[in-house]
Amino acid sequence: MKVIAKVAGQTVPIEVTRVGGAYAVAFGDKRYAVDARALHSDTYLLLIDHRVHEAVVLREKERRTIHLGGEVFTVEMVDPREHDRRESATKPESGRRAITAQMPGKVVRVLVHVGDVVDRNQSLLVLEAMKMQNEIKAPRAGRICQLAVAAEMAVNAGDLLLVVE
């Protein structure tokens, strides 16, 4: 599971992977081996890199207040899609932007051709994933310089769909 969190005003990627009965946790550039046991609904016994800790986690919507080792940490979970939208909104709109599939699916319709000039948020293609049709929109105004898919084509998560410059 990958999430993005705000800790002390900093945006930090967190990745949690189940390994046997424990977890491998990547917190920014640091990695930890963690075994967790719930003692109560908000209290956990953690074995982090061979050291035992008790943690109390208080939940309030997307915010977690964590009491661990005499310190208090406030963590705000960020929707990765919203984070990506905010990040792209602050980036300059020059250069090429590759648009990739966010999940496996099938291209239903391609609404543009190479060379077409498009506006920001213009529909570019329709991708069917998990029995739902999703419009893929232009992240910025530009010109379609590469089209890597066609109608009825299957795609995997991360596959290139098209490039806007």
DSSP H or E segment with residue 150: none
pLDDT digits (tens, 9 = 90+) for 94-143: 678 899 988 889 999 999 999 999 999 999 999 998 888 989 999 889 99
pTM for the full model? Answer: 0.46
Q: Which of 45, 80, 115 is the last residue of a domain?
A: 80
Residues 58 and 99 reside in one and the same domain? no
Which residue among 80, 113, 134 closes a domain?
80
Residue 80 has pLDDT above 70, yes or no: no
Give the domain CATH number at 65. Answer: 3.30.700.30
Domain boundary among 50, 80, 110: 80
Q: What CATH number corresponds to the domain at position 139?
A: 2.40.50.100
If one counts the domains in the chain, the total is 2
Residues of the domain holding 100: 92-164
Whether 119 maps to a domain, the answer reads yes
Residue 74 lies in a domain: yes
Tokens 């919203």, residue located:
82
Q: In terms of domains, do 72 and 10 share one?
A: yes
